[in-house]
Amino acid sequence: MKKVTAVLGLALLATIPLSATAQDVKPIRIGEVNSYSGALAAFTAGYRKGFDLAVENVNGDGGVLGRPLEVIYRDDNLSPADAVRVANELVSNQGVDLLAGTYLSPSGLAIANYADRRKVFFVATEPLSNAVTWSKGSRFVFRVQTPSLLLATALAVQAKGLQCTKWAGTGPMSEAVTDMVRDFQAELRKTHPDLVWADDSMAPVGRFNAGATIEHLQRLGVDCVFSAHVGPDMISFLRESKARGFYDKVKVVSVQAGLPEWLNSFGSEAPTGWITNGLPYDEIDTPPMRDFVAKYRAKYNEEPIYGAFLAYLSVEGIASGIKRAGSTNVEDLIKGFRGDDFDCVLGKCRWRVDHQLSLGAWVGSIAGAEGKAKMIGWRYISGDEGLPSEADGLAMRPAAANN
């Protein structure tokens, strides 16, 4: 066995072990676009490790259709315009067979639009926006990440026991967050029809002023907050809430605060009681999850984050869809992915006919223990339980996307 590493432009080709026979076979090339620099770099690094690990596993088992997988990574610089630019470079210059990736919904939607126009196959791995699958769905685009609809609904169900007189929302300005706030309110109003929602305090990505936002929420007199901030903005919101005496006066539902990458950031500052979604991988006692965690620890000598799990799952889904398609022809891929049931890190997964993976969400609350934050009281809301039916999902898509 030996490793082949190539440098292509500004990106590194994934280092993948290949057998002597496999080196003579044309690889299946995946162009992966994500936010590998800027505010999210520390977190997408774990995502890339999960992607590489899964590719290594697939190639170690003989590849797909007798061909090894090969990945070319590109950075979108947190910019939808850059995402489209590098996607086009991957397709036009590098000759990739399909595109994958994106963290932020604006970049995901931008590449989805490009893929639709250019008839390029694209697996959106991380964007949350409902539109990726449904209202702006394309026959050329499949999505792995749990959509904001399921997350918002699951979190609202978890929050129904909170005694709140006035709510407000806060988060980055994006279509995904707008969808999430709307869906969260709609679910909560089923049991709290007199719900008072005072305001939505949104800020452009990278320009969140936690102090000013908290002062605004204090003036509104809210006692419950729905927060969609992640990363450094989430930490700022927590710290400023404590510094300004807001933390002890409000109940918070925080999207993604329970993911390992964000829990690790809290350290001893665990926001006890926050309701959230996450990945309690060390308590998910199933053979596929234990296998993934063991392999990740052995290869990288660190704990996996949600991004690593999602990347690993994405490669499993891509490999299965290609195998079922029997080729990398775009039309064959569409037919092969639709309705594909496969074994995955969750146990069993399905590429639904509306192009959404059947991934659900783990919801619970945060507690501090031994100077660390962890999720407690969690439960898994499956895709079967939390997503629209496949028939309803198809009806939510443009007619041309279902051809």
Give the domains, in start order, of the chain with CATH numbers: 2-127+287-345 (3.40.50.2300), 149-280+361-386 (3.40.50.2300)
Rounded-to-integer distance, Cα 123 and Cα 11, Å: 19
Side-chain-facing half-sphere of 258: CA atoms under 13 Å: 29
Q: Which residues contact 27 (CB under 8 A, 6 or more apart)?
A: 63, 67, 68, 69, 70
List, for residues 218-243, the tens digit of each pLDDT value. 999 999 999 999 888 999 999 999 99
Predicted pLDDT at 115: 99
Predicted pLDDT at 175: 86
List, for residues 74-125, the tens digit of each pLDDT value. 999 999 999 999 999 999 999 999 999 999 999 999 999 999 999 999 999 9
Amino acid at 324: R
Task: Please indicate whether residue 73 or residue 22 has the higher confidence score (pLDDT).
Answer: 73
- Grade residue 24 by pLDDT with cuts at 50, 70 and 90: confident
Between the ranges 201-210, 213-222, 363-372, where is the mean pLDDT highest? 213-222
Amino acid at 67: R
Rounded-to-integer distance, Cα 366 and Cα 261, Å: 14
Predicted pLDDT at 340: 99
Predicted pLDDT at 207: 87
pTM above 0.75, yes or no: yes
Predicted pLDDT at 268: 84
- Grade residue 395 by pLDDT with cuts at 50, 70 and 90: very high
For the sheet containing 372-381, what is the strand order?
197-203, 167-172, 224-227, 251-258, 275-278, 361-369, 372-381
Q: Which stretches within 145-220 are classed as H helix?
A: 148-159, 175-188, 210-220
Question: What integer is the mean pLDDT of 308-333?
Answer: 99
Strands (DSSP E) along 270-384, which ranges? 275-278, 340-344, 347-351, 361-369, 372-381
The mean pLDDT of the chain is 93
List, for residues 241-252, the tens digit of each pLDDT value. 999 999 999 999
Question: What integer is the mean pLDDT of 202-220?
Answer: 92
Is 253 in contact with 277 (CB distance < 8 Å)? no
List, for residues 268-298, the tens digit of each pLDDT value. 889 999 999 999 999 999 999 999 999 999 9
Question: What integer is the mean pLDDT of 47-59?
Answer: 99
